[in-house]
Amino acid sequence: MSNGFISFSAARATQADALGAAITRLTGSVSSAAEKGQLTGPGPVFVGIGASLAAACAPVWALRSRGIHAWRLGAGDHPLPYPQSSHPVFGVSQSGRSAETLAALESVDASLRHAVVNVDPSPIADVASGVISLGSIPDSYASTIGYTATVAGLGILADAWNGGRIDDGWARLSDVVAAAENDLREQVRALAPLFANASSADFVGAGPAIGSAEASALLFREVARIPSTGMSTRQYLHGSMESAGGGVHVLFGDARELAIGQTLTDAGHPVILVTSEALDGGPLLHPVRVPRLPAAQRAIVEIIVTQILVEAVAEVRGVEIEEFVFHNADIKVAAEGPGI
């Protein structure tokens, strides 16, 4: 493709191997940053926008599970300058050019500026005192490997924060992703006709899977052009599910999501349930089983399911997935490189 992007299918075809290589690089760079004392003290604040914001969800959950105060904030949703704080701020942007993220990072003290980017050098990397680079991985226009590698980078960083140990499972994750692609591909692709005439799609996740719901909704808007919303399980229960009808519901989780799935199918609505629980399906309930993994690692497998599904849905609906409909001139600062 032009503009430095590769096709969605090409990015997905090499994703497992590219992710494995990125994890090796990221483990080394995060370990080095930890040894230099750059990953200590008050918990990190991750600022990003779009898929980058979603990517920070499971890592923040992992940090909070360790008793570390950490946040993810929409880069464009806070008055600037950011208030003074002792918390380091990490600008998350695959391209390193997201205008809102750069503005937020520039507004904090230089010693607190960090970046997690794919492209280095880049404007966001250039203003940061510490940079964790994904390695300039070629990505698709609707991000695939760029997203999964970003989740990996943030997840590894979360593991290592304040003297923590990087989970051994990261070294095996590329094999887990390859196995998921192989084992789930035909099952998930067979679900695409559910969306043939869908007017909308709801993506719902619990806790660390909220990011998977948000990123999935974004992909369905970008790739399949279906109006889609991502939200947390608890928010969904507080009124949002009342508009069910004419769409498909994709749930990520192992607890309350099972009961929601039953409630929706009993009312005649199709449900895809991405869960680690062993469940029997039904005419309207379609379970997709994923392995039990630490939060950030599981988030990567969850989005693999969505990537398989959305590619098939685009085919069913006759949508060309390699270009966006709208192009906005004010969301990236000047520099070359693909990104989110």
Q: Is the pLDDT of residue 339 over 60?
A: no
Instruction: Provide the pairing of β-strand 228-232 with 71-74.
Output: unpaired
pLDDT tens by residue, 159-201: 999 999 999 999 999 999 999 999 999 999 999 999 999 999 9
Q: Is 245 left (phi over 0), alpha (psi -120 to 50) or beta?
A: left
Burial label for 127, CB within 10 Å (0-12, 13-18, 19+), is: middle
CA distance 217 to 206: 15
Q: How far is CA 27 from CA 34, 61, 89, 153, 295, in A?
A: 10, 19, 20, 8, 17
Q: Name the pairing type of β-strands 271-275 and 130-133.
A: unpaired
What is the DSSP annotation of 28-67? HHHHHHHHTT-S-SSPPEEEE-THHHHHTHHHHHHHHHTT
pLDDT above 90 for 4? no
pLDDT band at 5 (very low <50, low <70, confident <90, very high): confident
Q: pLDDT tens across 38-97, in order? A: 999 999 999 999 999 999 999 999 999 999 999 999 999 989 999 999 999 999 998 899
Neighbours of 269 (CB within 10 A): 19
**Chain mean position to CA 219:** 10
Name the 3-class secondary structure at 288: strand
Q: How many helices (H) and strands (E) does the chain have?
A: 12, 10
